[in-house]
Amino acid sequence: MSQLSIYNSLTREKEVFTPITPGHVGLYVCGPTVSGESHLGHARPYITFDVVNRYLQFLNYKVRYVRNITDAGHFEEEGRDATDKVNDKAKLEQLEPMELVHKYTNLFHWGMRAFNTLEPSIEPTATGHIIEQISMIKKIIEKGYAYEVNGSVYFDVKKYAANYPYGKLSGRILDDLLETTRELDGQDEKRNKVDFALWKAAPPEHIMRWESPWGEGFPGWHIECSAMASKYLGVQFDIHGGGMDLQFPHHESEIAQSTIVHDHAPVNYWMHNNMITINGKKMGKSYNNVIKLTELFSGSHPILEQAYHPMVVRFYILQTHYRSTLDFSNEALQASEKALKRLWETYEVLKQLSYSPSNEGINESLNQDLISICNACEDYMNDDFNTAKVIAALFDLTSSINSFKANLIPIGTITEACFNLLQATFKNYLETILGLQSVQASSQNDAMDKVLQVLITLRKEAKQRKDFAVSDQIRNQLQEAGVILKDEKDGTVSYTIQ
């Protein structure tokens, strides 16, 4: 039996996984910045680390999975005038920041439910942990690795790099960063261009602001994860995950902050998934090639030839190893749609088969081949969560299973133990670990969404004709059923299933 090995981005080697506390795993994954809709590029890390979470639980570890919500503080380094993304988008949409956060957090959760991801153990928010962030900043200042200027606090990267291996995770060299960091407004208040903000003084027009020892302001992006990870997982924990675009500056900064506060590195294993690209370019707002999840599931984006079911998207992502680049194309998604349908049909056949001995006796070669393929799935998952090889192995089993159904090969030519192993392998890997569902079964959730939209439309029409009795009745009865409606300023209605 193989041991679980994880590719550690920090050491650039596969390492046998040894948890800090036997039988327990602390897993932290950087969550979304809820200033807008989640897109296909966001789907990859959360599906990837959902499988990591599922597999660790399958191995009987008790996992505390912490995935944060960034609802303040995510900004580029732009001197005193920097504003976080939530603050800017709230002004653009003419919503209170927490209205905006609620709207896009609900949309994110809706997408995660559609992808059949397990909920994290804890989902803390940046705004809910301002006290913890201020406390960490105070300690960094006390230890001499941060300084205050005009109500903002910056981390002294150059001083840190003189004593610790800054850049080890991302492979960045400080001297190169000092030469290549672009000039930005307000950089003159930093000691060095590479210093990053722990706390920013809030200009008068900034909506999101909190009291601090340095005046009213808001936290930097990097400090939130350090504060929340240490609060819920301890000052040193097992696994930290996220997209590889977060290695620098976000994760590099996390390491620096936490190392100063706690006197040692915070994480044993760093895991990073690769990007989803379109025509070789990273999917992102700056490239204007983002496909939102609502567009992906409805087929409404111009680049899409059709709507794609969430399970097809999940399967498409898992067919490639998480550390490999995944290039989007309609052809690839359509091929995934056919492949998932074929694999699930085989699984349905397998569930309907029953074992009975054959007069022909046991075919030792076939029996051993099937057992070897089933057992290989564990080796593939233990080899840095290689879902691509697991899926290929499941396909290797399909021809024999379909031959059993057609009675081209009597099922009794394999042992009953082998037959039971086949059924367990499909159930364990296809459903429990890979988290896949049949498109048909998952479509029942889509049908429920459509029913809810009909009721929301009926309520809207009742309000327009001032029939508030009917409008209130629909809202109240849905609330009794656990569906909470919320009217937005632009007239749309969002809902949350409790």
| pLDDT tens for the chain, residues 1 to 498 | 689 999 999 999 999 999 999 999 999 999 999 988 899 999 999 999 999 999 999 999 999 999 999 998 776 554 444 566 777 776 777 777 788 888 899 999 999 999 999 999 999 999 999 999 999 999 999 999 999 999 999 999 999 999 999 999 999 988 777 765 544 444 578 999 899 999 999 998 888 899 999 999 999 999 999 999 999 999 999 999 999 999 999 999 999 999 999 999 999 999 999 999 987 777 766 677 889 999 999 999 999 999 999 999 999 999 999 999 999 999 999 999 999 999 999 999 999 999 999 888 999 999 999 999 999 999 999 999 999 999 999 999 999 999 999 889 999 999 999 999 999 999 999 999 999 999 875 444 555 565 666 677 778 777 777 878 877 888 777 776 667 676 765 555 555 554
Structure-token pair, residue 476: 């109240």
- Sheet of strand 196-201, all strands in order from the earlier edge strand to the far edge: 146-149, 152-155, 196-201, 217-219
Nearest to 48 by CA among 227, 337, 374, 313: 313
The CA-CA-CA angle for residues 439, 34, 254, to 5°, reads 110
**Amino acid 224: pLDDT:** 96
Q: CA 95 → CA 9, 86, 125, distances in Å? A: 39, 10, 19
Contact 229, 124 (CB under 8 A): no
Amino acid at 26: G
CB 27 within 8 A of CB 63: yes
Secondary structure (H, E, C), the chain: CCCCEEEECCCCEEEECCCCCCCEEEEEECCCECCCCCEHHHHHHHHHHHHHHHHHHHCCCEEEEEECEECCCCCCCCHHHCCCHHHHHHHHHCCCHHHHHHHHHHHHHHHHHHCCCCCCCECCECHHHHHHHHHHHHHHHHCCCEEEECCEEEECHHHHHHHCCCCCCCCCCHHHHHHHCCCCCCHHHCCCCCCEEEEEECCCCCCCCECCCCCCEEECHHHHHHHHHHHHHCCCEEEEEEEHHHHHHHHHHHHHHHHHHHCCCCEEEEEEECCEEECCEECCHHHCCCCEHHHHHHCCCCCCCCCCCHHHHHHHHHCCCCCCCEEECHHHHHHHHHHHHHHHHHHHHHHHCCCCCCCCCCCHHHHHHHHHHHHHHHHHHHECCCHHHHHHHHHHHHHHHHHHHCCCCCHHHCCHHHHHHHHHHHHHHHHHHCCCCCHHHHHHHHHHHHHHHHHHHHHHHHHHCCCHHHHHHHHHHHHHCCEEEEECCCCCEEEEEC
Query: How high is the pLDDT of residue 80?
Result: 40
- CA separation, residue 486 to residues 213, 305, 466 (Å): 37, 33, 18
pLDDT at position 179 is 60
- Tell me the HSE value of 118 on the side-chain side, using a 13 A CA sphere: 22
Q: Give the pLDDT confidence score for residue 82 in this predicted structure.
A: 56
By CB neighbour count within 10 A (0-12 exposed, 13-18 middle, 19+ buried), where does 211 fall?
Answer: exposed
Q: Which residue has the tokens 């879902």?
A: 387
Report the candidate in 410, 372, 409, 414 with the shortest Cα–Cα distance to residue 393. Answer: 372
Q: For 497, list phi and psi in degrees, rounded to 5.
A: -90, 120
Residue length of the chain:
498
By the 8 A CB rule, do 102 and 259 touch? no
Q: Is the peptide bond prior to 204 cis by the omega test (within 30 degrees of 0)? A: no
d(CA 329, CA 283): 12
Q: CB-hemisphere CA count at 13 Å for 426?
A: 24
Q: For residue 127, give every residue at least 6 positions away whose Cβ sits within 8 Å of its Cβ, in sequence order, or none.
A: 71, 72, 98, 101, 208
∠ at Cα 60 (58, 66), nearest 5°?
A: 80
HSE-CB of 229 using CA atoms within 13 angstroms: 29
CA distance 154 to 1: 49
Q: Are 400 and 366 in contact (CB under 8 A)?
A: yes
In this predicted structure, what is the pLDDT of residue 206? Answer: 83
